[in-house]
Amino acid sequence: MSTRVVSVEFQDNVAVVTVDNPPVNTITAAVREGLFQAADQIRAQPGVKAVVLLCKGSTFFSGADINEFSGPPKEEEYRRLFAQWEGMSVPVVAGMHGTVLGGGLELSLACHYRVAAPGTRLGLPEVTLGIIPGAGGTQRMPRLIGVEKTLELILSGRPVDAAKAVELGFVDAVIEGDLAQGTIEFAKRLVAEGKGPRRTSERNVDPATATDEIIARLTEQAKKQYPNRQAPFFAIDAVRASLRLPLEEGLKYEEELANRSKATTEAKALIHVFFAERETRKIPGLPADVKARPVQKAGVVGAGTMGGGIAICFANAGIPVTVLDATREALDRGLKRVEETFDSMVKRGRITAEDKAKRMSLIRGTLDYADFADADVIIEAVFEDMNLKKKVFAELDRVAKPGAVLATNTSTLDIDEIASSVSRPQDVIGMHFFSPANVMPLLEVVRTDRTGPETLRTVMDLAKPLRKTPVLAKVCYGFIGNRMMEGYAREAQRMVLEGATPRQVDSALERFGMAMGILAVFDMAGVDVGVNVHKANADKYPPDPTYYQADLALYEAGRLGQKTGKGYYRYEPGDRTRYDDPEAIELIRARAKKLGVEPREHTEEEILERCLYPLMNEGFKILEEGVALRASDIDVVWTSGYGFPRYRGGPMFYAETIGLKTLLDGMLKYREIFGPMHWEPAPLLVKLVKEGKSIADWERSRT
């Protein structure tokens, strides 16, 4: 028999079931149907002594079909299917390779034996999507490795490799060489040794793995690791149940908890971000026949913080990159920092010394623009100065080959103006990396009115080998991310002027889930960086004498943040711990007095509203102006580049969570108190509330 995706053949007395559902053998409805039929067929076939389950292509089952999450629950069907496989009267062996996650791993647990190719990665990452394993993982895994290890696996969300899985005890052997052949031989050996089925469901959970101490420790750990979250606690509840309930009942309890977890806002938010990240590469209006140009060589101008990080990204991707700086000293300093970054990766076991050598050999320093002649893409990352950037682009225009992408990493400058300095503006584009560029996943791709479609496609596609999530933006001040940051940070600083302490503001934001409070972020990035941007762009801001004045007061007192040991907080040498500093508070209060800022009491609620409402409000403007292609792109920018909690789905998703009317009413409330200069609601927000529509309604109405 074979269906489109599942085939069965018999080799001697072994039934070999092979699934081929490219690209990653997701367990779709067709796969489940095929597996049902295969089990029936094997049962009907006389003389079968063992069954082997394999997958073709790059991986064994990579997981359940996430597109089915929003549809009717599938747990019951999974239960029936797995019961049918587990119920076979001859040994069933899963032969695994690739990345085996979630439902894929759960399916293997319903087999009687499991073997894997070296390097296979196996995991139950459901909690990272706000849900729990719902196809038996919480009930079968503890029967194999106990409650404690199961919970450690589920709560970490991270896969383990095959060797570790053998050590943990849920994989029987690592198969070197040909996996299919090795798995069949493994099955034949079982038969020869007279071994029958070994059903996970018939095993008992070891109670010593679920003592009160163990559960208390894991619960405490989950509380710390997952603040504001529910899924990890549903998982703990479900796995513990494996100890007291027989499998059938345990599976039903798991289903109940899985369905409850799916209904949470956190699950909806995390799944929203998961899909949003896969959507960003789609560019409506870009003809399908527009092809990316190959990128085999790259160039970077400026060997500073960003240039060095960008060069590392190319080297990591195996793309040779030439780095240019203005002076020998700057170049050497930059290349030394690159080497130190690789050294620390080696030290932390992220790469081998061999990897480091290989990657370093891909990075070449130069002082001569002529060395860019064969580069396919050149990224400029010199000081943030328009005249300097124009000079650099004029040089690039002179030496770059026709069709080379000429990109700038500017955070604030007008890329249209930069493009005016070259004879080929169609090749000019913004590639806005985030610091540290070799770590942060976000890449804002900024197109000008004249950026050509091929340039755009090339850069969007280049994001993949560079391991970045590209989000397309149009030129405007601050693009998507920094433009939304403006009001967010403005209010944080303003509240400090009104008498809130830096810690009060930052703690409120961190309890909400931001990776780091915004004032601590300024200390980390350098208070001077923000001040310089605001000085250079003074004409772009509203005439508010209190605007970003806390920053300025600290800056003028030489408090530049971590690098000077003091900023909003105080730091000890070699330590990033933030200590409250009365001196900073005093400085800012004195500035507030001079500016005539009225002191004010701040509840935690007000701190969050005043920081987050302007942030979300700006998102509506960006959306309506077409600066972002879609609301979910804005969410990706903030969750992948600015530490906005994924489990809140990003600012636009969060606006819908609290309700657009709540957001609008909040904007109006603060407009009443502080005046219209900063608190005018975005027209699109007003319109949607008036018409009772959602962001998705509006997006649909435009296509």
384 binds ligand NAI (CB under 6 A): yes
Of 383 and 579, CB closest to ligand NAI: 383
DSSP 579: B
> With binding defined as CB under 6 A, does residue 640 bind ligand NAI?
no
Binding of ligand NAI by 397 (CB under 6 A): no
Tell how strand 428-433 and strand 442-447 pair up. antiparallel
Please report whether residue 643 would count as binding ligand NAI according to CB under 6 A.
Answer: no
Q: Which stretch binds ligand NAI (CB under 6 A): 80-88, 432-440, 553-561, 608-616?
A: 432-440
Stretch near ligand NAI under the rule CB under 6 A, chosen from 57-65, 248-256, 383-391, 494-502: 383-391
Neighbours of 576 (CB within 10 A): 11
Tell the smallest beta-carbon distance from residue 213 to ligand NAI (Å).
45
Tell me which stretch binds ligand NAI (CB under 6 A): 213-221, 298-306, 489-497, 658-666: 298-306
Q: How far apart are CA 168 and CA 149, in angstroms?
A: 7
Residues 53, 22 contacting (CB under 8 angstroms)? no
Q: Give burial (CB, 10 Å; 0-12/13-18/19+) of 355.
A: middle
Which listed residue (68, 75, 86, 106) is catalytic? 106
Alpha carbons 377 and 664: distance in angstroms, whole number: 44
Give the residue, chosen from 12, 204, 278, 383, that forms a contact with ligand NAI under the rule CB under 6 A: 383
| Three-state secondary-structure class, residue 618 | helix
Using CB under 6 A, which of the segments 255-263, 299-307, 634-642, 654-662 binds ligand NAI? 299-307
> Is 126 a catalytic site residue?
yes
Q: Which of 57, 73, 87, 304 binds ligand NAI (CB under 6 A)?
A: 304
Question: Does 339 engage in binding with ligand NAI (CB under 6 A)?
Answer: no
Least CB distance to ligand NAI at residue 329 (A) = 8
Residue 530 binds to ligand NAI (criterion: CB under 6 A): no
Q: Looking at this protein, which amino acid is placed at residue 599?
A: P
Identify whether the C-beta of residue 215 lies closer than 8 Å to the C-beta of residue 33. Answer: no
Q: Rank residues 73 and 304 by Cβ distance to ligand NAI and give the closer one.
A: 304
Which segment (230-238, 295-303, 352-360, 484-492) binds ligand NAI by CB under 6 A? 295-303
For the CA atoms of 413, 414, 417, 423, the dihedral, rounded to the nearest 10 degrees, stands at: 90
Which residue among 64, 321, 382, 428 contacts ligand NAI (CB under 6 A)? 382
Q: Alpha-carbon distance 648 to 650, whole Å? A: 6
Widest distance between CA atoms in the chain: 93
The footprint of ligand NAI on residues 600-619 (CB under 6 A) is none
Instruction: Report which residue's Cβ sits closest to ligand NAI.
Output: 304
For the chain, the residue count is 703
Among candidates 171, 58, 42, which has minimal Cα distance to 111?
171
Q: Is 301 in the site for ligand NAI (CB under 6 A)?
A: yes
Q: Which stretch binds ligand NAI (CB under 6 A): 427-435, 534-542, 583-591, 595-603?
A: 427-435
Q: How far is the CB of 405 from ligand NAI (least distance, A)?
A: 17
Cα distances (Å, whole numbers) of residue 60 to 20, 54, 139: 9, 7, 21
Of residues 406-425, those binding ligand NAI (CB under 6 A) = 409-411
Asked whether position 400 contacts ligand NAI by CB under 6 A, the answer is no
Q: How many residues bind ligand NAI (CB under 6 A)?
A: 25
- Per CB under 6 A, 562 contacts ligand NAI: no
Q: Which is nearer to ligand NAI, 395 or 581 (CB)?
A: 395
Q: Which is nearer to ligand NAI, 115 or 382 (CB)?
A: 382
Q: How many CA atoms lie within 13 A of 168 on its CB side?
A: 25
CA–CA dist 150, 130 (Å, integer):
17
Q: Is 246 helix (H, G, I), strand (E, B) or coil?
A: coil
Min dist CB 530 to ligand NAI, Å, is: 11
Hey, is 148 helix, strand or coil? Answer: helix
* Residue 407 three-state SS: strand
Write out the DSSP string of 638-671. Answer: HHHHS---GGGT-HHHHHHHH-HHHHHHHHHHHH
Catalytic residues: 106, 126
The footprint of ligand NAI (CB under 6 A) covers 301-307, 324-326, 330, 334, 381-384, 388, 392, 409-411, 432-435
